[in-house]
Amino acid sequence: MGLPLLLLLLTSTLLSTCFPPGSMVNALYSFRGADLSIEPGDHVNRDTDVTLRCKAIITISDNEEVTYFYTVIKDSIDLYTKTTTIDEFEYTLPKVRVSNTGKYECKISINGTEETSKLTKLTVTGLSRPELRIDKTEVTEGEEVTVSCRAPGETGSIYFTFYDNSNEIIEKRATSNELQTKLRLSGSSNHSIYCTYTVSISPTSVNSEKSEMVKVTVKELPIKPVLTISPRDNVFEGDTLSILCTVDNQHSTERLQVELSQGARLLAREYATIQHSLKATAPALMFECGLNAGSVNKFMTGSVSVNELFLAPTLTVSPREVFQHDNMMLTCSSEKQAYQRLRNTELIYTLNSSDNALTMTGTGVFNLTAPMYDFNYTCAATAKGITKHSEILTVRPKVAVSRPFIKVHGNAVLGQLIQIHCWSDHGTLPINYTLLIDERKLVTITIRLPNQKAVFNISINKTEDINKYSCAAKNGMKETLTSSRLNAAVIVPLSHPSTLVVPESGEIYEGHLLTLFCKVNGTAPITFMWYRTGDRQPLNTTNSNQTFTTYEVPKVTSQHSGKYYCEAVNQARNIVRSEEVTIEVHMAKWKKALIVGTVLLLVSGVVLAIVVYIKSRRVMAVRAEESVWSHRSPEADAVVDEESSMVTNNPDVEYTEVVHPQPVDPARVPLRKGTDTVYSELQNSPHGAADHHDYGSVEYAELNNSDQPEMYQFHPEVDSYQDLPEPVD
Ligand SMILES: *[C@@H]1O[C@H](CO)[C@@H](O)[C@H](O)[C@H]1NC(C)=O
Ligand SMILES: *[C@@H]1O[C@H](CO)[C@@H](O)[C@H](O)[C@H]1NC(C)=O
C-alpha cells in the first residue's frame, strides 16, 4: 500500500510540474492511451463469439472518478459508442460472419482528451453453402422457371450468380441473403442449374462454394420451321432459286405465322407456308425461316453458294494523258467464268457518258472526246440479266497550254542583265517554258505552281538583239506554242559627254549671249545638269527627249567667268560627266577705249597746265616792263575796251574741265577723240583781263560777270554756248 501511494504522489507531483495549472485542474489521473484486444483471436471461423476488449491506459487515485467515452470503429466507420465510468469496455460480436472481417479500432475520450488504439484486423473464414430452389424441373420450350438462391445466415453485401450447364446466365446483387429470379431456358436439352454467392469485404470479396445442382428438362414443342432451297448445288448467278419456308406441325392444328428473311432483309411473312423465288447473285445467299409461337421463337437457316458467270468489268482509258476535247478511248472488259453457261451469250457493255458522239468500235471499246472537266466514268457488263459495274474511273482532262507571252521585266539596258518573263494564261501544270534566240533553244524552265512566270536572265550587246528572243510553252504531249518575238525598247547607257561653248572661248565679251551645249551618246529621255566647278547644286537641270541640251546666259558678265561642266543620266542610271570648260568674260571694247582716252586726257591736261603756267609767268614779266595797251592784239580790242582800266595784274586763272556726255553705244566710242573735251576758263576776278591763247582744237570759254557774256569760238564743231553740257569732273 505504501508503494502505490508513493507512486501516485510522485505522479501527481510530476503532473503538476509538467503541465501548467489550469489545463487539468485537480485531475488526479494520468491517461496515456487506449488498447484493443480481440478474443479469442483475430483469425476465427464463422459462428465464433468474438469479444473486442477496449481498455484505457490510465493511472488514477482511489477516490477519483472519471467518465470514459468509448467508440468502436470498423473500417473507419463508427460502429458503437458507450459512456461509462469503468476503464474497460467489452464489445461482443456474437456468431461472427465473413462480413465481420475488417480492421477495428477503439477510441476513448476522457474530459475531451482522446486516445485511439492501434488498428487490429479481424479475419472470419467460412461461408455457408448456398441453397438453390427451383419451382419446376420439367418445362416446355419457352416456359419460364422461378429460381432462388439463399446464403444461410450470411450478412453484408451479397451478389448471387446462376449457372446453366456451367455457363453464367445471371448475376445480381441482393438486398438480403436471398435472391429470386425467373429463367427461360433455351434449346430442348437438359439443363443443370446451380448458384453461388459472393460476400464483399473491403477491399476484396469472398466466394462461396457451389450450391447443389438441379436438373431441369426442357421439352421441345412439337412444331418447327422447315426451310428448303433448290437447287442447292452448282448454282450460278442469274439462276432462279426456289425457297420454301413452312412449319412441321404434327400435333397442332394451330395456323402459325412464318417469316422468311435473307440476312437482315425480310422477304415474306405468311401463315403456315412461304413459297419464294429469286435470282441468284454471287457469291452466297443466306436464308432464315422462323416461326413464332407465343414465347417460343424457332429458326431454321440455310445457305447456298453462287458461282460467278463473269467478273465485274474493269475500265481503262488510253492515252493515259488526255487534253480537253481530245479523242480518247475507254475500254470496258470482263472475264467470263462459266464458259459452258455463257457460250452463246455475249456480254453487253455500257458506259455512262454525256458525250453524244460516243462510238463503240469493238466489244467494250468506246471512242469519245475528253470532257472539259473531271468526269467519273463507270461501265457495266450485262449477261443473263446480271449487270456488274466497274469501279469509278476519274478522267482529269488537261488544259492545253495557251500561246505564251514574253516581256521584259523592268528596263532592258544594253550590256546589263535583262530579266525576261514568259507565261501562258491557260494550261495544266506543269508547263515547260523554253527561251529561244532565233528559234534556237537556250534554256527550259518547268513551272509547277499557279500564277508563276518563267524568269530568264539575258544580256545583250547590240540593241537589235533584243528582238531575236522569243519563248515557247509546252505541257504534256501537245504541240509547243511559241510567243511572238520580244519587243522592247533597249536603253543604251550614256557615254561620250562633250560640251561646246558659243562664242568660242576668248571671244566672250561682257553683255554678249553665251550658249553652252552638252551632248551625250545614249538613249533619251536624258536628264542634263549644268554645274559650275566648286558648286554643289546644279545651275540648271533639264529633262530632254534628245541627246543634247543647251544652257544660255543672255548677257554675260565678268561674274560668269569660271569652269563649267555638264552631267547626264538616263534610265540606265549611269551618270556621265563632261570635261570642264573655262569661260573667261572679257571687258567690253568701248570701256577699254574709254579708259585709254581718259588716261590720255589726264596726261594732256597735266601737260597743258604746265605750259599755261610757264606762259603766264612770262607775260607777267613783260607787263612789268611795258604798257598793257601797246601789246593788245587788234582782234581783242572790241571786247575789252570797257574793261581795259580794270584789267588786273592777277595772273591766276581757274580752269574747269567740261566733258561732253558720252554716248552708250560702244560702237561709236572709237570714233570720238579725247580732244573733244571743252575747257571753260573761269577768271576769279570779276573784271579781269582775259588772255587769249590759241590752243588749236581746245576751246575756251571766258566767263565774266558782265550781262553780255562773250564767247570766243575756236572750233567749228561747237556752234553755241548753250550746247555746252553741264560740267562733269
Ligand atoms: C468522282 O468520284 C469521287 C469519289 O468516287 C468523288 O469524290 C468526286 O467528287 C467525283 N467527281 C465528279 C466530277 O463527279
Ligand atoms: C518627251 O517625250 C514624251 C513622250 O513622247 C513626252 O511625254 C514628254 O513630255 C517629252 N519630254 C520633253 C522634256 O519634251
The tens digit of pLDDT for each residue in 593-607 reads 888 888 888 988 888
**pLDDT in the model for residue 379:** 94
Q: Kindly list the averaged pLDDT for each block of 10 residues, start to end, along the chain of length 729.
A: 45 45 58 90 90 89 85 90 88 90 91 88 90 89 87 90 90 90 80 92 87 88 86 87 85 76 89 88 88 79 89 92 90 82 79 82 90 92 88 92 94 93 93 94 94 94 93 89 94 94 83 92 94 91 94 90 93 92 85 85 88 80 53 43 43 42 41 38 41 40 40 39 41
Instruction: Name residue 117's amino acid.
Output: S
Reference 122, options 153, 96, 152, 90; nearest CA is: 96
User: What is the percent of the chain with per-residue pLDDT over 70, rounded to a whole number?
Assistant: 80
Return d(Cα 563, Cα 576) in angstroms, integer: 17
What are the C-alpha distances in Å from 457 to residues 419, 469, 481? 5, 12, 21
**pLDDT in the model for residue 668:** 39
3-state class (DSSP) for residue 75: coil
- Protein residue whose Cα sits closest to atom 3 of ligand 1: 376
- Protein residue whose Cα sits closest to atom 6 of ligand 1: 376
Positive or negative, the Cα torsion across 153, 155, 161, 166? negative
Positive or negative, the Cα torsion across 408, 409, 410, 412? negative
Question: What is the pairing mode between strands 576-577 and 653-658?
Answer: unpaired
**pLDDT in the model for residue 321:** 86
Q: Which residues pair with 101 in a beta bridge?
A: none
- Protein residue whose Cα sits closest to atom 2 of ligand 2: 545
What are the C-alpha distances in Å from 284 to residues 224, 234, 240, 281? 25, 12, 14, 7
Q: Is residue 546 within 6 Å of ligand 2 at its C-beta?
A: no
**pLDDT in the model for residue 667:** 41
pLDDT in tens, 287-314: 999 987 767 778 899 999 998 888 899 9
CA of 376 to the centre of ligand 1 (A): 6
Angle at 292 between CA 291 and CA 297, to 5 degrees: 85
**pLDDT in the model for residue 638:** 42
CA of 581 to the centre of ligand 2 (A): 29
Pocket test for ligand 1, best of 353, 375, 389, 392 (most atoms within 8 A of CB): 392
**pLDDT in the model for residue 643:** 41
Return d(Cα 148, Cα 140) in angstroms, integer: 20
Q: What is the DSSP letter of 334?
A: -
Return d(Cα 104, Cα 75) in angstroms, integer: 6
Are the CB atoms for 527 and 570 separated by under 8 Å? yes
**pLDDT in the model for residue 236:** 87
Which atom of ligand 2 sits closest to the CA of residue 542?
A: 13
Q: Is residue 525 within 6 Å of ligand 2 at its C-beta?
A: yes
Q: Is residue 489 within 6 Å of ligand 2 at its C-beta?
A: no
**pLDDT in the model for residue 517:** 94
What own/partner pairs with CB < 8 Å and gap ≥ 24 does 79-85 have?
A: none
Q: What is the DSSP letter of 615?
A: H
Which residues are within 8 A (CB) of 70 and not within 5 positions of it... i.e. 6 or more apart? 54, 80, 81, 82, 83, 84, 89, 106, 107, 108
